[in-house]
Structure 1
Amino acid sequence: MTSVPGTAELPASTVDPAGLEPVAEYVTGLQTTNVLRAADGTYRWWQRPGPLAGEPPTATPFPSRLPDAPGAARLALPRPTGDGLLYQVPGPASAAAWLRDFRPAARLLVASALASVARGLRALHRSGPPAPERSGPPPALLRLRSWAASDDESRGRAEELWGRRRTVRLLDWADEAAGTTATAGAELPAGPVHGWASLGALVPPLRAGRTALLTGPDLGTGRPELDLGWTLGELAELHWRLPSLHTTPDPNRAPSSPPALARVFLDAYGPGPDPVLLGRCAVLRIAVHLQDFARHQGWHDELLDYFAFTADLIDQEGRPALPPELGDHHHDPA
Structure 2
Amino acid sequence: MSAAMDSRKKSAIRSTRTDLLSTGVYAVGGAYEWVHSLGVGAPIPFSSLRISVDSVPGDLLVVGVGGDRHRSYSTPAGSTVFDLITAGELVNLRVAGREWGTALSSLHESASLIGDFPESTPRTVQRSEAWLGGTWEPAREVLGEGGLLEIRRWIQCILSGPDQVVVHGYPGMAHWVVTPDGAAGSLLTGEDLGRAHPSYDIAWVLGEMAELHAFHPVLRPALDEMRNGFLETCGAAPGPREIGPALAFRIAQHAYDWHHYAGAGEAQAKGLLRLAGSYLETTMEVR
TM-score interval (norm. to shorter): 0.7 to 0.9
- Match of residue 152, structure 2, among 168, 171, 174: 171
Q: Distance in 2 between matches of 1:94 and 1:237?
A: 17
1:263 aligns with 2:228: yes
| 2:54 alignment partner in structure 1 | 67
Amino acid at match of 1:12: A
| 1:308 alignment partner in structure 2 | 274
1:115 aligns with 2:115: no
Larger proportion of strand: 2
| 1:251 alignment partner in structure 2 | none
CA contact (8 A) 2:22 2:37 kept: yes
- Match of residue 102, structure 1, among 82, 85, 88: 88
CA contact (8 A) 2:255 2:270 kept: no
Q: Distance in 2 between matches of 1:24 and 1:148?
A: 33
1:221 aligns with 2:186: no
Residue identity over aligned pairs, in percent, reads 21
Ranges in structure 2 where 5+ consecutive residues have no aligned partner:
none
- Match of residue 20, structure 2, among 24, 30, 33: 30
CA contact (8 A) 1:26 1:34 kept: yes
CA contact (8 A) 1:190 1:221 kept: yes
- Match of residue 160, structure 1, among 108, 128, 141: 141
In the TM superposition, residue 133 of structure 1 has moved relative to its aligned partner by 2.6
- Match of residue 211, structure 1, among 156, 179, 185: 185
1:234 aligns with 2:208: yes
| 1:126 alignment partner in structure 2 | 109
Q: Distance in 1 between matches of 2:207 and 2:122?
A: 17
Amino acid at match of 2:187: L
1:93 aligns with 2:79: yes
| 2:125 alignment partner in structure 1 | 141
| 1:13 alignment partner in structure 2 | 4
Amino acid at match of 1:89: T
1:193 aligns with 2:167: yes
Classify the secondary structure of the residue corresponding to 2:202. Answer: helix
CA contact (8 A) 1:124 1:192 kept: yes
Number of equivalent positions: 284
In the TM superposition, residue 82 of structure 1 has moved relative to its aligned partner by 9.9
In the TM superposition, residue 229 of structure 1 has moved relative to its aligned partner by 1.1
CA contact (8 A) 1:193 1:223 kept: yes
Q: Distance in 2 between matches of 1:284 and 1:307?
A: 10
Amino acid at match of 1:57: F
TM normalised by structure 2 equals: 0.87
Classify the secondary structure of the residue corresponding to 1:137. Answer: coil
Ranges in structure 1 where 5+ consecutive residues have no aligned partner:
1-9, 183-188, 247-255, 324-334
In the TM superposition, residue 290 of structure 1 has moved relative to its aligned partner by 1.4
* RMSD, aligned CA: 2.8
In the TM superposition, residue 42 of structure 1 has moved relative to its aligned partner by 0.6
Classify the secondary structure of the residue corresponding to 1:200. Answer: coil
Amino acid at match of 1:91: A
CA contact (8 A) 2:172 2:208 kept: yes
| 1:43 alignment partner in structure 2 | 32
In the TM superposition, residue 241 of structure 1 has moved relative to its aligned partner by 1.3
Larger radius of gyration: 1
Q: Distance in 2 between matches of 1:96 and 1:69?
A: 25
In the TM superposition, residue 200 of structure 1 has moved relative to its aligned partner by 2.4
Amino acid at match of 1:222: A
TM normalised by structure 1 equals: 0.75
1:288 aligns with 2:253: yes
Q: Distance in 1 between matches of 2:230 and 2:118?
A: 26
1:243 aligns with 2:217: yes
CA contact (8 A) 2:10 2:27 kept: yes
